[in-house]
Amino acid sequence: MPRFRICQSLLKITRPSWLVTVKWAVISLGILQLIKELFQLITRRLRYITFDNGIECFVYLSAIVVVIDLSPCSHQTGLRMTWQWSLAAICAFCSWMNLLLLIRKLPKFGIFVVMFFDVLKTFSRFFIIFVLFIVAFSIAFYAVLQNRPEFSSVPSSVLKTAVMMIGEFEFTAIFHGNDKSHLERLFGPTITYPLFLFFCVIMTILLMNLLVGLAVDDIKSVHEKAELRRLAMQVDLVLQVEASMPPYIRKLKHRSKLTTYPNEKSFWKRLCDRFGSVSPVKNEIDSENKTEQELVSEFREELRSQNAQLRLLQTNVDNMYDSFSERQVRTEAMIREILEQLKMDRRNSKAK
């Protein structure tokens, strides 16, 4: 009844004509995209069932449902129902996430998206411990601060505790409120202050630094794997497009050979060379050459260091050999003297 009265009061409002045009444009585009997805399902069959395609179908269907008028009030005023606004919010979020998934296959920005999802997988393995800490502190804050609106229930306490992790503590409002007001009074400060101190140390210092460490740890290997995965997705996209084309089109566009003239320059290339513009390919080649030169210089430095260590080791061995030779000569001389002395003693004993 209240919704009917509100609608009756808004019947005098008429939506602009351009909104009707936008509505039918969204419906038309959504239907065309769904037909395209159905064609892909027929051609690819079980290979079509992926997370990316599921998001695309949900976006197209939800966009059509949001713009459809489900009541005379919506048709007259253009207002949507509450659940349609909620569906529109989810649709908008999923559409931008779908764009992010499509960017993964681009040569420039795709590698960063793939790296982001790799870091997200690392965080998902740590998420259980993360949730346990949040639940522990949120229940503790609910027990001692439940008179405050933000901690009045367990779900709101969990949300407030998660927000406090990013630095929104509101220390003055929580611990130095009006003692005469029940909603701002602090009960049990002897336990609340140490609990808040533990939260600051564990959640905002230790746990957040651990998350940063997990995100940046072994970033080089993640970068290399992300590049390979991006290239694999790009090849898969090319194969999908080729497989979706009819056979006669593939035969029509088939080229058995391709002749290239690398030294031939077009007008645009000559113009760029004239004004000093460098092509992206040349930049990439220069960067690769620079990387190779850096590797060669590193190998040379390492080789010099190893040669210096070998020379030092050879010097030490020579010194040890010289010292051993001197000791051996001295030992042989002492043995000769002892033998001579023994011979003289034996002669003296025979003479007596």
DSSP 22: H
* CA 224/CA 236 separation, integer angstroms: 19
User: For the residues of 285-328, what is the DSSP string, one character each?
Assistant: HHHHHHHHHHHHHHHHHHHHHHHHHHHHHHHHHHHHHHHHHHHH
Per-residue pLDDT, 290: 62
Per-residue pLDDT, 59: 92
pLDDT (tens place) for every residue of the chain, 352 residues total: 445 455 555 556 666 777 778 888 888 998 998 898 888 888 777 878 888 888 899 999 999 988 888 777 776 676 777 888 899 999 999 999 988 888 877 777 777 787 788 778 878 888 888 889 999 999 998 888 888 888 888 889 898 888 888 877 777 777 777 777 777 777 877 888 888 888 888 888 888 888 878 777 767 667 767 667 777 777 777 777 777 677 777 777 677 777 777 677 776 777 766 665 545 545 555 566 666 777 778 888 888 888 888 888 888 888 887 777 777 778 888 888 888 877 777 777 766 6
Contact present, 62 and 95 (Cβ < 8 Å): no
CATH fold label, 110-173+185-252:
Helix Hairpins (1.10.287)
Task: Give 226: exposed, middle or buried? Use CB within 10 Å, 0-12, 13-18, 19+.
Answer: buried
Residues 6+ apart with CB under 8 A from 80: 66, 74, 88
Per-residue pLDDT, 4: 47
* CA 315/CA 81 separation, integer angstroms: 89
Per-residue pLDDT, 60: 92
* CA 63/CA 143 separation, integer angstroms: 43
Each domain of the chain, given as residue ranges in start order, spans 1-104, 110-173+185-252
Per-residue pLDDT, 32: 92
Per-residue pLDDT, 1: 44
